[in-house]
Amino acid sequence: MSMRERIRKEVLRIVPVDAREAESKRLTLAFLEESEALFDESTQDHHITASAFVVSERGMILHLHRRLGIWVQPGGHIDEGESPDEAALRETREETGLPVELANPIEIFHVDVHPGPRGHTHYDVRFIVKSEPVDPSPPPEESQEVHWFSFAEALERCEPSMQGAVNKLEAEISLRSHAEAPRG
């Protein structure tokens, strides 16, 4: 299966949490049909990016984006030869210094279309990743404002356009933890 087909299949499975995600899903599916180069930011001003919702028993990670000055999840551009999930892991490690791995199932959890820098449009595919509940240790060239937040704290702190995604994440993590709980 091609990367385009894989992304399309995963985006089709998404049940949108709100109108924003429903519209982002529609736009992403249209972009997948129209665009020849999905990830290349140098030849087109629309491209797919990847990000990660990092979770542990400490809650979720947000970082203060250095250029935008907003609290968001780690993520960024997809390098040549990289899949979106690999990019989400790489960007998370680079921006947080945390030991992370993809949560099961490994699939796109959320999608959001938003303006990027230089007039670009980002079709952001978002994954759930797990981390040990250790303190973040971002390298000096990255934002030093990286913290664990409870879901309630994350809702107060995050960029307002992310609130639906944070609510969806909290519900998913609660559902997964109940499914994994031992039954007596």
Residues of the chain with pLDDT under 70: 178-184
Domain residue ranges of the chain, discontinuous segments joined by +: 3-180
In tens, the pLDDT along 22-66 reads 999 999 999 999 988 898 888 888 899 999 999 999 999 999 988
**pLDDT score, position 128:** 97
Return the structure tokens found at 79. Answer: 């390098």
pTM of the model: 0.93
**pLDDT score, position 182:** 59
CATH, range 3-180: 3.90.79.10
